[in-house]
Amino acid sequence: MQETGYETFSFYYDALTENVNYPARAAYLDGLVQKYKQSAGKVMLDLACGTGTMTEEMAERGYDMIGVDYSEGMLGQAMEKKIEKQLPIQYVCQDMRELELYGTVDAVICTLDSLNHLPSFEDVTTVFQRVWESTETGGVFVFDMNTLYKHRELLGNQVYVYETDAVYCVWENALCEDNCTVEITLDLFQLCADGRYRRTEEQITERAYAPEQVQAALETIGFHVLGIYHADTEEPLHSDSERMVVVARKEA
C-alpha cells in the first residue's frame, strides 16, 4: 500500500476532531436515511471512514456497518477502537474511486468533507458511479461537502492553531481563487516522553464545487437527488452555508 498523505495525520485525527459532535451528526444522518431509504435492509457503508468514529456511532444505532478508507493509518486506529468496543464492523482498505464490495448496501454515508479531498471533479463523479453500483435499489447516498463559501470566506489564506493534550497543530491555508482549491499545510508537534517535541508535516488539498454541479453529476449517473441542505438541517442552503448535505436515492 502506498502512502496516502494521511498516515501521520491519522495519529492525531481524533484529537483534532474533538469539536465534532458525532452523536448529534449520527442522529441527523440516521434521520435522513430512515426518511428516504426505500430498501428493506440495514447494511450501511461509511465511505472514507477515517478512524471509524462515525462508523461506530451508526453501528450502535443498529446498522450492519462496513467502513472503507484508503489510509492504513486511519484504519489501524479504527481497528483498535473496534476491538476495544467489540463492535461487529467490517473495515476494508480501498481507494473510494475503486470501490468494490461483495454485494450491495442499503445506505452509503460519506462525511467530514471527505469528497472535497479528491484531486478532481472527475474523481468525484467516479466515486458517485462506484457508489451507485454498490447501492441496493431504493438505497440512499448521504454525504457532506464543504461549500465554495467556506473555501473562499473562511478557509481562504487563514492560519489556525489547535492545541490539545496530544498535539499542537499549526494549520496554514493557501487559496487558489481560480478553482476554489485550498492547499493545507499541517505542522504537527507531538510532546515526547523526554520533553522534546517531534515535528511532522502533512500536505492536504481540498476542492469545493457548486451544488448545481454536484446535483447534475449525480443525476447523470442515475441518482434521484432528494435534497441539498444546509448542514445538519433540512433547510435549503444559505448564502453563508459552510457545509452542504446531499441526499440521493438509487431508483428502480
Do residues 135 and 144 touch, judged by C-beta distance below 8 A? no
CATH of the domain at 129: 3.40.50.150
Give the per-residue pLDDT at 1.
Answer: 31
Residues 224, 189 share a domain = no
Residues 31, 133 share a domain = yes
Q: Which domain holds residue 16?
A: 7-149+209-250
Residues 192, 98 share a domain = no
Note whether residue 1 is domain-resident: no
Residues sharing a CB contact under 8 Å with residue 19, sequence separation 6 or more, in sequence order: none
Name the nearest CA neighbour of 245 among 233, 224, 229. Answer: 229
Residues 34, 120 share a domain = yes
Note whether residue 136 is domain-resident: yes
Give the per-residue pLDDT at 119.
Answer: 95
Note whether residue 2 is domain-resident: no
Give the per-residue pLDDT at 14.
Answer: 75
Residues 114, 26 share a domain = yes
Domain count, the chain: 2
Note whether residue 139 is domain-resident: yes
Nearest-10 crossing angle of helices 121-134, 211-221: 40
Q: What are phi and psi of 157, to 5 degrees?
A: -110, 35
pLDDT one digit per residue (tens) for the chain, 252 residues: 334 456 677 777 777 788 899 999 999 999 999 999 999 999 999 999 999 999 999 999 999 999 999 999 999 999 999 999 999 999 999 999 999 999 999 999 999 999 999 999 999 999 999 999 999 999 999 999 999 999 999 999 999 998 888 788 999 999 999 999 999 999 989 888 888 888 989 899 999 999 999 999 999 999 999 999 999 999 999 999 999 999 999 998
